Amino acid sequence: MGGDDSLPLAVKRHILELERRLSRAEEQSSVLEVMSRRHAEIATRIRHDLEAQVESLEAARARERLLAEERDTAFRRSTEAMGMQLVGSLAAGVAHDFNNLLMIIQMAGSVLREPRSAAEATSAVDDLDAAVFRATQMTRHLLALGRSVHSTAQPAALDLGEIVSATACMFPRLFGPRVHVEVRTHPAAFVLAWRGGVEQVVLNLAVNARDAMPKGGTLSLEVKADEKEVLLVVTDTGEGMDAETQARVFDPFFTTKTTGTGLGLPTVRQLVAEAGGRIELESAVGEGTTFIVRYPRSLVSPVAVTRSAAQPDQESGRLLLVDDDPLVRRATARTLERAGYEVVGVSDGDEALALLELSEFRVMVTDASMARVDGLTLVPAAHARLPDLPIVVLSARYSSPPLDFGPRVVFQSKPADLETLLDAIARASGI
């Protein structure tokens, strides 16, 4: 068309301009098409990269969850193992102490069979009371040593000074004569925590101090308090630590001991943190070590139960007593009969349930652990028949219900005297 001479010049120019514009449009279209393909390729690469990153993050989270589960399992197994190791170390000393208590009981029994005077009989009874108290403390601490630090029990107001003093009573047997133990406490040093966890903190720090003094030395445990905090200060006169060791001492699995697990101090820090506290360390090579545990001070004091003197009440009614140990059943029945109860004793939960179908009872007192139907099984079965029946569960392991049995069920630690039993019955009865 550009060579057609018959067209006017103006038309030719217009046609040439149109052809140039068409050519440029085709070029631009080609460029846009190339750019579109490139954008699509880039978008595809970005999508693939994002999908790969998401998969990587999900895999990382899965690995973190697995590591956390493995770490928690390792902590739990380690603390349980440490508790059992402590029990093993105490075994010989505990056997010796229990033999001493049995001797006290046997001799007091001999005196009470033929007392020469009322004063002698009273003295023998006092010896029996003291022996029972010492045996109770020993068994409770042994249970605390073997118990897992992870408990379903709710935190409670505790007297830290009382716990430290009671726990430290075991240290002479545990550590031997080369370690001198000093204890200083502060009145009303209340904290909100789980008792088993606090006992584990005291034990682990004390064992750590013992290990730092292979040739012996002094272990000091001091409880301090101000308006906001309660402090447990544990000091040893051992070898001390350098800066590098101090920086890693709370790291899981780090240990300077040939037989250590490296989980004792990390466990302490975890338990303290769970109670809302923190732990600090002061040490120098050759100058010993001090651990300072800081708990928030509780404004609530531990519950104190005031019991009135037990007086026999001939209107106390019938009581169903369930215990598979005949000696315990006989002694408990004799004691409750002094309070005016008509006691019917059986040896297991099946017998108890059968009697509840046939007779009326004002209250039931049962042991928690029995060979056949135990107390924890008996309680809901009894309440299915008699929902309002007051029940007292005697247990060497539980001082509070491990399950929610309702207000009509009271757990009472063993051993328990008459006043304690009557108080538990009154609480279960809503009195």
Quote the pLDDT of residue 114. Answer: 85
Which residues lie closer than 8 Å to 194 by C-beta, 6 or more apart?
Answer: 151, 153, 154, 155, 156, 274, 275
Residue 314 vs residues 215, 239, 317, 393: alpha-carbon distances, Å: 63, 66, 8, 23
Is pLDDT of 15 > 90?
no
Is pLDDT of 147 > 90?
no
Is pLDDT of 77 > 70?
no
Token representation of residue 380: 């809901």
Quote the pLDDT of residue 38. Answer: 81
Q: What is the average pLDDT value for the chain, to the nearest integer?
A: 81
Fold of 317-428: Rossmann fold (3.40.50)
**Residue entry with tokens 């989270």:** 61
The answer to whether the CB of 151 falls within 8 A of the CB of 197 is: yes
DSSP for 179-210 reads: EEEEEE--TT-EEEE-HHHHHHHHHHHHHHHH
Of the chain, the percentage scoring pLDDT greater than 90 comes to 26
Closest CA to 161 of 141, 142, 183: 183
* Greatest mean pLDDT range, 151-160, 206-215, 261-270: 206-215
Residue 186 vs residues 59, 161, 224, 232: alpha-carbon distances, Å: 51, 6, 6, 10
Which residues lie closer than 8 Å to 374 by C-beta, 6 or more apart?
Answer: 349, 367, 368
Helical H segments across 114-194, by residue range:
118-146, 160-168, 171-175
Is pLDDT of 149 > 60?
no
> Omega before 415 cis (within 30°)?
yes
Q: Within 10 A of 115 (CB to CB), how many other CB atoms are there?
A: 15
Q: What is the mean pLDDT of residues 202-222?
A: 91
Q: What is the mean pLDDT of residues 258-278?
A: 80
Token representation of residue 286: 């050759």
Q: What is the mean pLDDT of residues 119-135?
A: 81
Quote the pLDDT of residue 27. Answer: 76
Token representation of residue 404: 């929610």
Side chain identity at residue 405, one-letter code? F
Is pLDDT of 196 > 60?
yes
pLDDT tier at 285, thresholds 50, 70, 90: very high
Token representation of residue 87: 């029990």
Domain locations along the chain: 155-296, 317-428
Q: Compute the half-sphere exposure of residue 319: CA atoms within 13 Å on the CB side of its CA.
A: 29
pTM of this prediction?
0.49
Q: What is the mean pLDDT of residues 54-77?
A: 76
Quote the pLDDT of residue 259. Answer: 55
Residue 308 vs residues 136, 417, 426: alpha-carbon distances, Å: 22, 13, 11
Give domain 155-296's CATH architecture. Answer: 2-Layer Sandwich (3.30)
Quote the pLDDT of residue 26. Answer: 75
Q: What is the spatial distance between Cα 261 and Cα 25, in angstroms, rounded to a whole number? A: 78
Q: What is the spatial distance between Cα 400 and Cα 412, in angstroms, rounded to a whole number? A: 7
pLDDT tier at 205, thresholds 50, 70, 90: very high
| Sheet containing 341-346, strands listed edge to edge, beginning at the edge strand earlier in sequence | 341-346, 317-322, 363-367, 391-395, 409-413
What three-state secondary structure class fits 410?
strand
Side chain identity at residue 414, one-letter code? K
- Cβ-in-10-Å burial (0-12, 13-18, 19+) of 428 comes to buried
Lowest-pLDDT range, 73-82, 114-123, 151-160, 402-411?
Answer: 73-82
Q: What is the spatial distance between Cα 353 and Cα 374, in angstroms, rounded to a whole number? A: 12
**CA angle in degrees (0–180, nearest 5) for 375-155-228:** 160
The answer to whether the CB of 317 falls within 8 A of the CB of 360 is: no
Quote the pLDDT of residue 150. Answer: 46
The answer to whether the CB of 322 falls within 8 A of the CB of 348 is: yes
Helical H segments across 288-325, by residue range:
none
pLDDT tier at 310, thresholds 50, 70, 90: very low
* Greatest mean pLDDT range, 230-239, 263-272, 309-318, 411-420: 230-239
Q: Is 317-428 the same fold as 155-296?
A: no
Closest CA to 342 of 310, 315, 371, 375: 315
Q: What is the mean pLDDT of residues 165-188?
A: 86
Rg (CA), the chain: 37
Look at 245 and 32; give whichever has higher pLDDT: 245
Q: Within 10 A of 375 (CB to CB), how many other CB atoms are there?
A: 26
Is pLDDT of 132 > 60?
yes
